[in-house]
Protein backbone atom coordinates (compact mmCIF):
# COMPACT_ATOMS: atom_id res chain seq x y z
CA UNK A 1 0.00 0.00 0.00
CA UNK A 2 1.41 3.38 -0.98
CA UNK A 3 0.50 6.72 0.56
CA UNK A 4 0.68 10.24 -0.85
CA UNK A 5 4.19 11.14 -1.96
CA UNK A 6 5.74 14.62 -2.16
CA UNK A 7 8.88 14.43 -4.26
CA UNK A 8 11.47 17.19 -4.30
CA UNK A 9 13.16 17.73 -7.63
CA UNK A 10 11.39 14.87 -9.41
CA UNK A 11 11.17 11.14 -8.72
CA UNK A 12 14.67 10.83 -7.28
CA UNK A 13 14.03 9.44 -3.81
CA UNK A 14 14.32 12.75 -1.94
CA UNK A 15 11.23 13.25 0.24
CA UNK A 16 9.88 16.00 2.42
CA UNK A 17 8.70 13.95 5.40
CA UNK A 18 8.37 10.48 6.86
CA UNK A 19 4.73 10.34 5.80
CA UNK A 20 5.88 10.10 2.18
CA UNK A 21 7.40 6.68 2.67
CA UNK A 22 5.62 3.54 1.58
CA UNK A 23 3.88 2.37 4.73
CA UNK A 24 4.15 -1.40 4.82
CA UNK A 25 7.50 -3.19 4.87
CA UNK A 26 6.18 -6.33 3.21
CA UNK A 27 9.30 -8.53 3.19
CA UNK A 28 12.28 -9.06 5.48
CA UNK A 29 14.64 -8.30 2.58
CA UNK A 30 12.84 -4.98 2.14
CA UNK A 31 13.27 -4.30 5.86
CA UNK A 32 17.05 -4.72 5.48
CA UNK A 33 17.14 -2.44 2.42
CA UNK A 34 15.14 0.22 4.22
CA UNK A 35 17.28 -0.14 7.34
CA UNK A 36 20.34 0.60 5.18
CA UNK A 37 18.58 3.10 2.84
CA UNK A 38 19.28 1.00 -0.24
CA UNK A 39 15.78 1.32 -1.76
CA UNK A 40 14.04 4.22 -3.50
CA UNK A 41 11.02 5.03 -1.30
CA UNK A 42 8.91 6.14 -4.27
CA UNK A 43 9.54 3.38 -6.81
CA UNK A 44 10.51 0.67 -4.32
CA UNK A 45 13.46 -0.23 -6.54
CA UNK A 46 16.98 -0.78 -5.24
CA UNK A 47 19.40 2.09 -5.68
CA UNK A 48 22.39 1.63 -7.94
CA UNK A 49 25.53 1.27 -5.80
CA UNK A 50 26.87 4.47 -7.40
CA UNK A 51 23.72 6.50 -6.72
CA UNK A 52 24.19 9.49 -4.42
CA UNK A 53 21.09 8.33 -2.55
CA UNK A 54 22.51 4.87 -1.75
CA UNK A 55 22.84 4.73 2.08
CA UNK A 56 22.50 8.54 2.23
CA UNK A 57 22.39 9.50 5.90
CA UNK A 58 19.46 11.94 6.10
CA UNK A 59 17.08 9.81 4.05
CA UNK A 60 18.19 6.81 6.06
CA UNK A 61 17.14 8.48 9.31
CA UNK A 62 13.60 8.84 7.90
CA UNK A 63 13.54 5.22 6.84
CA UNK A 64 14.74 4.04 10.24
CA UNK A 65 12.03 6.06 11.92
CA UNK A 66 9.23 4.01 10.36
CA UNK A 67 10.81 0.62 11.06
CA UNK A 68 9.72 0.45 14.72
CA UNK A 69 6.52 -0.98 16.13
CA UNK A 70 4.99 2.36 17.09
CA UNK A 71 2.50 0.65 19.42
CA UNK A 72 5.20 -0.82 21.66
CA UNK A 73 5.75 1.41 24.73
CA UNK A 74 8.62 -0.81 25.94
CA UNK A 75 11.00 0.84 23.46
CA UNK A 76 11.65 4.21 25.09
CA UNK A 77 12.31 7.28 22.98
CA UNK A 78 15.71 7.69 24.65
CA UNK A 79 16.75 4.11 23.78
CA UNK A 80 15.50 4.47 20.23
CA UNK A 81 17.34 7.77 19.72
CA UNK A 82 20.57 6.34 21.11
CA UNK A 83 20.25 3.37 18.75
CA UNK A 84 19.63 5.62 15.72
CA UNK A 85 22.58 7.82 16.68
CA UNK A 86 24.89 4.80 16.75
CA UNK A 87 23.57 3.60 13.39
CA UNK A 88 24.04 6.93 11.63
CA UNK A 89 27.31 8.00 13.26
CA UNK A 90 29.14 9.87 10.48
CA UNK A 91 32.52 8.48 11.47
CA UNK A 92 31.35 4.85 11.56
CA UNK A 93 27.79 4.20 10.36
CA UNK A 94 26.46 0.67 10.83
CA UNK A 95 24.41 -1.40 8.39
CA UNK A 96 22.81 -4.81 8.16
CA UNK A 97 24.34 -7.46 5.92
CA UNK A 98 22.18 -10.41 4.89
CA UNK A 99 25.26 -12.63 4.43
CA UNK A 100 27.34 -11.59 7.46
CA UNK A 101 25.85 -13.89 10.11
CA UNK A 102 24.99 -12.74 13.63
CA UNK A 103 21.28 -12.94 12.84
CA UNK A 104 18.86 -15.85 12.68
CA UNK A 105 15.22 -16.81 12.36
CA UNK A 106 13.01 -18.22 15.10
CA UNK A 107 10.04 -20.22 13.82
CA UNK A 108 7.17 -21.24 16.10
CA UNK A 109 5.58 -24.40 14.71
CA UNK A 110 3.22 -27.24 15.55
CA UNK A 111 4.10 -30.92 15.46
CA UNK A 112 2.44 -34.16 16.51
CA UNK A 113 4.26 -36.15 19.20
CA UNK A 114 2.99 -39.19 21.07
CA UNK A 115 -0.47 -38.71 19.61
CA UNK A 116 -0.81 -35.03 20.57
CA UNK A 117 -0.23 -31.70 18.82
CA UNK A 118 2.56 -29.75 20.52
CA UNK A 119 4.37 -26.43 20.11
CA UNK A 120 8.00 -26.52 18.99
CA UNK A 121 10.53 -23.78 18.24
CA UNK A 122 12.94 -24.09 15.31
CA UNK A 123 15.98 -21.85 14.80
CA UNK A 124 17.45 -21.30 11.34
CA UNK A 125 20.82 -19.81 10.31
CA UNK A 126 22.00 -18.54 6.93
CA UNK A 127 24.86 -20.72 5.65
CA UNK A 128 27.08 -20.41 2.57
CA UNK A 129 26.66 -23.33 0.19
CA UNK A 130 28.98 -23.55 -2.84
CA UNK A 131 28.20 -20.41 -4.86
CA UNK A 132 25.12 -19.39 -2.88
CA UNK A 133 23.46 -19.33 0.53
CA UNK A 134 20.72 -21.31 2.21
CA UNK A 135 18.77 -21.50 5.46
CA UNK A 136 19.78 -24.41 7.70
CA UNK A 137 18.03 -25.81 10.78
CA UNK A 138 20.53 -25.00 13.54
CA UNK A 139 18.73 -25.55 16.84
CA UNK A 140 15.46 -26.83 18.27
CA UNK A 141 13.62 -26.12 21.50
CA UNK A 142 10.91 -28.61 22.49
CA UNK A 143 9.58 -28.47 26.05
CA UNK A 144 9.10 -32.26 26.47
CA UNK A 145 12.74 -32.81 25.42
CA UNK A 146 13.91 -30.18 27.91
CA UNK A 147 11.87 -31.69 30.72
CA UNK A 148 13.14 -35.17 29.87
CA UNK A 149 16.68 -34.10 30.76
CA UNK A 150 15.96 -31.78 33.67
CA UNK A 151 17.73 -32.86 36.86
CA UNK A 152 15.33 -34.22 39.47
CA UNK A 153 17.34 -35.78 42.29
CA UNK A 154 18.98 -33.86 45.13
CA UNK A 155 22.59 -32.87 44.34
CA UNK A 156 25.06 -35.61 45.26
CA UNK A 157 22.49 -38.35 45.78
CA UNK A 158 22.85 -39.98 42.36
CA UNK A 159 26.33 -40.89 41.13
CA UNK A 160 28.53 -43.70 39.86
CA UNK A 161 30.98 -44.59 42.62
CA UNK A 162 34.57 -43.63 41.74
CA UNK A 163 35.76 -47.20 42.39
CA UNK A 164 33.20 -48.73 40.03
CA UNK A 165 35.94 -49.53 37.51
CA UNK A 166 37.43 -52.01 39.99
CA UNK A 167 34.18 -53.99 39.83
CA UNK A 168 34.00 -53.87 36.05
CA UNK A 169 31.17 -51.33 36.30
CA UNK A 170 28.86 -54.09 37.49
CA UNK A 171 26.64 -51.45 39.14
CA UNK A 172 25.53 -49.95 35.83
CA UNK A 173 22.33 -51.97 35.89
CA UNK A 174 21.12 -49.74 38.73
CA UNK A 175 22.12 -46.60 36.81
CA UNK A 176 20.17 -47.47 33.66
CA UNK A 177 17.21 -48.76 35.65
CA UNK A 178 16.97 -45.25 37.12
CA UNK A 179 15.87 -43.71 33.81
CA UNK A 180 14.19 -40.67 35.39
CA UNK A 181 17.53 -39.54 36.85
CA UNK A 182 19.83 -40.48 33.97
CA UNK A 183 20.89 -36.84 33.57
CA UNK A 184 22.50 -37.05 37.03
CA UNK A 185 25.10 -39.49 35.70
CA UNK A 186 26.34 -37.19 32.90
CA UNK A 187 28.97 -34.43 33.10
CA UNK A 188 27.92 -31.12 34.66
CA UNK A 189 28.46 -29.35 31.33
CA UNK A 190 26.35 -31.80 29.34
CA UNK A 191 23.41 -30.29 27.44
CA UNK A 192 21.14 -32.59 25.42
CA UNK A 193 21.22 -31.95 21.67
CA UNK A 194 17.56 -31.27 20.95
CA UNK A 195 18.20 -30.95 17.21
CA UNK A 196 19.48 -34.54 17.07
CA UNK A 197 16.52 -35.74 19.15
CA UNK A 198 14.15 -33.91 16.81
CA UNK A 199 15.75 -35.41 13.70
CA UNK A 200 15.66 -38.89 15.27
CA UNK A 201 11.97 -38.62 16.11
CA UNK A 202 11.10 -37.29 12.65
CA UNK A 203 13.11 -40.03 10.91
CA UNK A 204 11.64 -42.86 12.97
CA UNK A 205 8.09 -41.51 12.60
CA UNK A 206 7.60 -40.62 16.26
CA UNK A 207 7.03 -36.99 15.37
CA UNK A 208 5.46 -35.29 12.35
CA UNK A 209 5.37 -31.68 11.20
CA UNK A 210 1.99 -29.89 11.19
CA UNK A 211 2.76 -26.30 10.20
CA UNK A 212 4.28 -22.91 10.99
CA UNK A 213 2.55 -20.65 13.52
CA UNK A 214 4.78 -17.54 13.34
CA UNK A 215 8.25 -16.30 12.40
CA UNK A 216 10.54 -13.65 13.82
CA UNK A 217 14.17 -12.63 13.40
CA UNK A 218 16.92 -11.86 15.92
CA UNK A 219 19.68 -9.39 14.93
CA UNK A 220 23.04 -9.10 16.70
CA UNK A 221 25.00 -7.40 13.89
CA UNK A 222 24.93 -3.88 15.32
CA UNK A 223 27.72 -3.26 17.83
CA UNK A 224 26.42 -3.30 21.43
CA UNK A 225 22.78 -3.71 20.36
CA UNK A 226 20.20 -6.46 19.88
CA UNK A 227 16.82 -6.16 18.23
CA UNK A 228 13.97 -8.44 17.21
CA UNK A 229 11.94 -8.08 14.01
CA UNK A 230 8.36 -9.38 13.71
CA UNK A 231 5.59 -9.05 11.16
CA UNK A 232 2.54 -6.98 12.15
CA UNK A 233 -0.65 -7.43 10.17
CA UNK A 234 -2.99 -4.62 11.17
CA UNK A 235 -4.73 -1.56 9.79
CA UNK A 236 -2.92 1.74 9.48
CA UNK A 237 0.52 2.64 8.19
CA UNK A 238 2.68 1.02 10.88
CA UNK A 239 2.52 -2.51 9.45
CA UNK A 240 4.69 -5.25 8.00
CA UNK A 241 8.13 -6.24 9.30
CA UNK A 242 9.07 -3.93 12.17
CA UNK A 243 11.45 -3.75 15.11
CA UNK A 244 9.43 -5.29 17.94
CA UNK A 245 12.02 -5.07 20.72
CA UNK A 246 15.33 -3.30 21.18
CA UNK A 247 17.99 -3.57 23.88
CA UNK A 248 21.48 -2.25 24.42
CA UNK A 249 23.62 -5.36 24.93
CA UNK A 250 27.42 -5.02 25.22
CA UNK A 251 29.32 -7.39 22.92
CA UNK A 252 30.61 -9.36 25.91
CA UNK A 253 27.05 -10.11 27.04
CA UNK A 254 25.62 -11.23 23.71
CA UNK A 255 26.55 -14.89 24.26
CA UNK A 256 24.24 -14.92 27.27
CA UNK A 257 21.52 -13.34 25.14
CA UNK A 258 21.88 -16.11 22.57
CA UNK A 259 21.46 -18.74 25.30
CA UNK A 260 18.38 -16.96 26.63
CA UNK A 261 16.72 -16.94 23.20
CA UNK A 262 17.64 -20.58 22.59
CA UNK A 263 16.19 -21.49 26.05
CA UNK A 264 19.49 -23.11 26.99
Give mean pLDDT, residues 112-133: 94
- What pLDDT is stored for residue 21 in this prediction? 55
User: How many residues in total does the chain contain?
Assistant: 264
Give mean pLDDT, residues 90-95: 94
- What pLDDT is stored for residue 151 in this prediction? 66
Give 86 or 4, the one with higher predicted confidence.
86
- How do strand 132-141 and strand 116-129 relate by DSSP bridges? antiparallel
Cα distances (Å, whole numbers) of residue 175 to 46, 146, 211: 62, 20, 39
- What pLDDT is stored for residue 214 in this prediction? 97
- What pLDDT is stored for residue 133 in this prediction? 92
Nearest to 94 by CA among 222, 225, 247: 222
The structural domains of the chain, with segments of one domain joined by +, span 18-101+220-261, 103-146+195-218, 150-191
Gap between the Cα atoms of 213 and 234, Å rounded:
17
Give the predicted TM-score (pTM) of the model.
0.84
Give 136-177 as a DSSP string: EEEEEE-HHHHHHTS--SPTTSS---TTGGGGTTTTHHHHHH
Q: pLDDT tens across 171-184, in order?
A: 899 888 888 888 88
Counts for the chain of helices (H) and strands (E), in that order = 7, 6
Residue 139 has pLDDT above 90, yes or no: yes
Residue 31 has pLDDT above 60, yes or no: yes
Give mean pLDDT, residues 134-141: 97
Of the listed ranges 68-72, 75-79, 155-159, the least confidently predicted one is 155-159
42-51, 146-155, 203-212, 233-242 — most confident range: 203-212
What per-residue string of b and e applies to 95-116 under the rule 16 or more CB within 10 Å gives b? ebeeeeeebbbbbebebebeee
Amino acid sequence: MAIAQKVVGGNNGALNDVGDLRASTKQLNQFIKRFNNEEDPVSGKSYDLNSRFYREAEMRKKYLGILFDAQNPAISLATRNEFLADLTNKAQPQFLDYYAGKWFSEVAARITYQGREEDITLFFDIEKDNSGYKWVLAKVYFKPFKEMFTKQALPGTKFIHPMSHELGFMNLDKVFADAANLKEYTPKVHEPDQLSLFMYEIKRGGMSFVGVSSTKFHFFQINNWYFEVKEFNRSGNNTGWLIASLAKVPEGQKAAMYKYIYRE
